[in-house]
Amino acid sequence: MTDITIIGTGNMGSALAKRAAAAGRSLQILNRTPEKAAELAGELGSGVISGGLAEPALGDIVIVALYYGPAQEVITRLRGSLTGKTVIDISNPINTDTFDSLVVEPGTSAAEELAKLAPEATFVKAFNTTFAGTLSAGSADGKPLDVFIASDSQEARKQVADFVRAAGLRPLEVGGLHHARELEGFQLLVMALQANPAYESFNWGTALKILD
Amino acid sequence: MTDITIIGTGNMGSALAKRAAAAGRSLQILNRTPEKAAELAGELGSGVISGGLAEPALGDIVIVALYYGPAQEVITRLRGSLTGKTVIDISNPINTDTFDSLVVEPGTSAAEELAKLAPEATFVKAFNTTFAGTLSAGSADGKPLDVFIASDSQEARKQVADFVRAAGLRPLEVGGLHHARELEGFQLLVMALQANPAYESFNWGTALKILD
């Protein structure tokens, strides 16, 4: 039995794998290049399994730690093995030429579009406002990172919130999957600020937080 | 000469007036009920002028510290005296029956809709993510509050950023007025969390912050 499958071994995939291991969850790492998945699995310690994209996703939760474009492709390809699973989309569908708009239309979101590609899975938007560096650390300014969670399934939101809490982070459930629109939209602004030389202290290592 | 006109004497109007006074700006307070404007002006000290909505707005910057509905009405009414001025919209066009959607359509924002009502003014979205209590205090967790600023006019963004900085807060310029969509959208989620009994520590006194 595997708790969590992470697809992708980039900065975000690695950071999420580290958090999942910290949470004591059993892990499967998948990547287009199986050697990269094996390498990350090896770093995480014994018991972490790995493979390429021909392997079925085994985790109850499947985190697609990919950019929006590759996420579309991989979800379409793995659709069969996603049935009944909770799939987390972390993507930010930013127009990276301008950092001024999204590549999805108003009135939808990357998460909602991805969900259409695998209707037998339960989609959750989460981790799109956490940068890899701070996520890997797990905290910012001595406080647990905030992880915003949107899904039409209350059960899936709770399942992801439990994982987030176990990983030492603070889950904030914001409602239905359509709220991915606001999560992706705001992160566009946060990312544009990182890319803006006027904000020198922002270098892709900030944390969006609701201070209380 | 008056630096700033604040229309509205509610929690947000009062908090903004306090910040403006702290920034050393000369102030005019306007309100539908002139006695309320006079009362707030009196609390702020000598030199603060006040009046009803029949008075012209004198400030170089006019902050409309009203809910979206009344803001529409008041901007229409005062349109003549707003020509050439920088008008700040702070509103959050939330459907308060559900706290789950906005009353503006996808692909627009309260700020953009209000701007259409007074095309001779330069509109800025700002202060919609700051709650009155924390704004009045000026900081949260020992850090200056973040104030997100959107406007099509770079000059107006800078003018508002200068005010924000003088008021002891941190300005974050996020680009054109259309980015009010993301600012209003995200604040919908933040406000829904305040209204959600599952988040006990959130009581309309949190601060949205980019920790760096």
Task: Quick: pLDDT tens for B151-184.
Answer: 999 999 999 999 999 999 999 999 999 999 999 9
Q: A76: which 2 tokens? A: 């379409």
Mark yes or no for CB contact B183/A186 under 8 Å: yes
- DSSP code, position B1: -
CB burial string A85-120: b at 16+ within 10 A, e below? bbbbbbbbbbeeeebebbebeeebbbbbbbbebbee
Q: With cut-offs at 50, 70 and 90, classify the pLDDT of residue A134.
A: very high
* Residues A189 and B187: beta-carbon distance below 8 Å: no
Residue B148, min C-alpha distance to chain A (Å): 9
Residue A105, min C-alpha distance to chain B (Å): 9
Q: With cut-offs at 50, 70 and 90, classify the pLDDT of residue A46.
A: confident
From CA A114, how far away is CA A148, in angstroms rounded? 18
From CA B166, how far away is CA B25, in angstroms rounded? 9
Secondary structure of residue A128 in the 3-state scheme: coil
Mark yes or no for CB contact A141/B211 under 8 Å: yes
Q: What share of chain A is helix, strand, coil (3-state, %, to 5)?
A: 40, 20, 40
Structure confidence at residue A167 (pLDDT): 97
Q: Where are the alpha helices (DSSP H) in chain A?
A: 11-22, 34-44, 68-78, 110-117, 132-137, 154-166, 180-195
Name the average pLDDT for chain A: 96
The domains of chain B are located at 4-195
Structure confidence at residue B204 (pLDDT): 95
**What ipTM does the predicted assembly reach?**
0.96
Is it the case that residue B45 has pLDDT exceeding 90? no
A202–B contact, CB cutoff 8 A: yes
Beta strands B61-64 and A146-150 are unpaired
Secondary structure of residue B81 in the 3-state scheme: helix
Residue B164: alpha-carbon gap to chain centroid: 11
From CA B193, how far away is CA B140, in angstroms rounded? 18
From chain B residues 38-97, the ones with a CB under 8 A of any chain A CB are none
- Best interface-test mutation with A: which of B206, B208, B211 has the largest number of A CBs within 10 A? B211
Q: Which residues of B touch A192 (CB under 8 A)?
A: 174-175
* Phi-psi map region of A107: left, alpha, beta (phi>0 left; psi -120 to 50 alpha): left
Mark yes or no for CB contact B206/A212 under 8 Å: yes
From CA B43, how far away is CA B46, in angstroms rounded? 9
* A62-116 confidence digits (pLDDT tens): 999 999 999 999 999 999 999 999 999 999 999 999 999 999 999 999 999 999 9
Closest C-alpha among B121, B123, B143 to residue B134 = B143
Q: B122: which 2 tokens? A: 């330069």
A204–B contact, CB cutoff 8 A: no
Q: A40: which 2 tokens? A: 């990350």
DSSP states of B14-40: HHHHHHHHHTT--EEEE-SSHHHHHHH
Residue B142, min C-alpha distance to chain A (Å): 11
Residue appearing with tokens 């509610």: B10
Q: With cut-offs at 50, 70 and 90, classify the pLDDT of residue A45.
A: confident
Mark yes or no for CB contact B148/A106 under 8 Å: no
* A145-193 confidence digits (pLDDT tens): 999 999 999 999 999 999 999 999 999 999 999 999 999 999 999 999 9
B141–A contact, CB cutoff 8 A: yes
A188–B contact, CB cutoff 8 A: yes
B198–A contact, CB cutoff 8 A: yes
Nearest to A210 among B106, B107, B208 (CB): B208
Residue A161 is which amino acid?
A: A
A209–B contact, CB cutoff 8 A: yes
Structure confidence at residue A1 (pLDDT): 82
Angle at B128 between CA B127 and CA B130, to 5 degrees: 65
Mark yes or no for CB contact A205/B183 under 8 Å: no
Mark yes or no for CB contact B176/A100 under 8 Å: yes
**B4-195: what fold?**
Rossmann fold (3.40.50)
Structure confidence at residue B179 (pLDDT): 98
Residue B198, min C-alpha distance to chain A (Å): 9
Mark yes or no for CB contact B173/A198 under 8 Å: yes
Could you tell me the CA-to-CA distances from A97 to A66, A92, A94, A192, A200 in Å, in that order? Answer: 18, 14, 9, 11, 20
According to DSSP, the residues that pair with A149 across neighbouring strands are: A173
